[in-house]
Structure 1
């Protein structure tokens, strides 16, 4: 796909090869904010979802890409690959609270459900790092496959998964001992990885083979493959369906989790990447890197119901929706 940025030198270009029907009020506890990393713009957009606009933009630096939210919504954790940093943002104050060096190419990121550990995948060192969320000190590392990208943690907090792009596999790590217990072969160049709420299945978006691998975590093997659009990046789950961002297609492919049949292909902004389901499952939000938008898809109608301008080159790779129980952002 032709790109208006095709001539730009991006700090992390390797990543380009590659957590309710009706109105917002339909959710009993609607998510209010999205924290969108803008890699080209070196910034973080904080989006007021109810108002449908960016409420603030924070300069970050280091070409931020990955994002994860603390379970209580107090902090957003970002990865900046170019500066080799984990950046901690105080969500309420809309300000950077801390920065620390992590590895040589931090990209994917996730937070343990207890909020005590931050997990960062290092693309160049082929490791998963653990950082103590209270002290922001290193809490260990474990070798995984080559070029780990996406990171996911099961809802019970027992297992961590990394999508190892250049090994065509997913590594499985025991969270308690922080040791790698196995791996699962998947499609070509897996990038994003998502685990269902029950911890039964995981889904990888395979950018090299234009498909999604379905992993049975109990069996420890891939049990199915679903063809999707061109260069799939990440997967979100909602209402018994998977929503897959197809970077080069400018689409989101939707397939049924039971039958694995494709239900619809939804046109969105150019170069969709990060995607996440809001609590309650009524909508998924998609960051479109070329369009500079965050877009809302209603999961009942499968229609785009909002397009919100954000910063330049939004990636939002990970969990970027602030939990609904978190305090509201201060008004300008």
Structure 2
């Protein structure tokens, strides 16, 4: 069993040395032939690896070595590239998603954690946990083009569908920073629950949802008024939120469940048992499935959003975290 932390007070886990040698890791590398089903790009921190899961076959089709305890993940809208944060190495890795190779490692300093891609695919945003800032990187080259100050310990990031606003969940400020992407300036702040970590924006760009780790709830933010429209109690230590079929799905780290609530009424719908210590969560493009990375059981759970039941488990490398938008759309 991997030791659980009480809450990521450093947000960077105390990792054990499980003796994984580079030769063994490289032996796991699978160079898959081109695939056309959507894929999950799952970061595994202790394994220093990125697992690529074919979501049609529910099988790992490639494992890419990524140094520095990879945590955050974001994929460009066209599916060409993935970007991975490695807090231990202060690096963002750029990955050619089709070739399954790391094409660049960008030293950004600080503690890169959350990451998001602008809808245009041209800019990548990186949360610097230690520096209380967000960096903007040119997606093609990885060149840093600007920075903007946030609250303390910025964690999850999300961009509105129109690309105008970037949200940063500032964990140790109990707030969400609102950033204008055009000028890269902070234009607002919304106070939310205690220790917000993951943040997700709906497809209409009207509401955002933060998983508040210390208050065991989700804050629902109205982006037009920049106020909290509601608060929903969920399980213990919520980590991140996915949206599908008019419902929010929330990973409850300390209860090994996913809490589900209706986004219109904000009423609870279900509590779904998954693997141990669920963290990253994302929905398929059609909303029929939700995928959950389970840190302790080293699996990716597959939830059917119609039946609200787990319909599959995919084994992945040690310590899957998948913090961010980890679904690659290949068609």
Counterpart pick for 2:186 among 180, 190, 193: 180
Question: Residue deviations 1:158-205, cap 9 Å, x none?
Answer: 000000000000000001111000100000000000000111100000
Distance 1:265 1:16 in 2: 26
The answer to whether the aligner puts 1:217 opposite 2:223 as a matched pair is yes
Contact preservation (8 Å) 1:31, 1:322 = no
Partner residue of 1:51? 57
Partner residue of 2:92? 86
Question: CA 1:31/1:261 → structure 2, altered by over 3 Å: closer, same or farther?
Answer: farther
The answer to whether the aligner puts 1:252 opposite 2:249 as a matched pair is no
Counterpart pick for 2:105 among 93, 99, 104: 99
Runs of 4+ aligned residues of structure 1 deviating over 6 Å after TM superposition are: none
Distance 2:248 2:138 in 1: 32
Contact preservation (8 Å) 2:69, 2:86 = yes
The answer to whether the aligner puts 1:302 opposite 2:316 as a matched pair is no
Aligned residue pairs, count? 308
Question: CA 1:243/1:195 → structure 2, altered by over 3 Å: closer, same or farther?
Answer: same
Counterpart pick for 2:2 among 1, 5, 9: 5
Question: CA 1:281/1:263 → structure 2, altered by over 3 Å: closer, same or farther?
Answer: same
The answer to whether the aligner puts 1:241 opposite 2:241 as a matched pair is no
Deviation at 1:134, TM superposition (A): 2.0
Distance 2:12 2:220 in 1: 22
Distance 2:4 2:124 in 1: 34
Distance 2:168 2:49 in 1: 25
**Which deviates the most, 118-127 or 48-57?**
48-57
Question: CA 1:15/1:244 → structure 2, altered by over 3 Å: closer, same or farther?
Answer: farther
Q: Which structure 1 residue ranges, 5 or more long, are not aligned?
A: 18-29, 326-332
- Normalised by the size of structure 2, how large is the TM-score? 0.90
Distance 1:14 1:202 in 2: 22
The answer to whether the aligner puts 1:271 opposite 2:277 as a matched pair is yes
Distance 2:171 2:9 in 1: 14
Matches within 5 A, 1:127-206: 127-206=133-212
Which structure is richer in relative contact order (CA contacts within 8 A, separation 6 or more)? 1
Partner residue of 1:14? 11
Contact preservation (8 Å) 1:164, 1:171 = yes
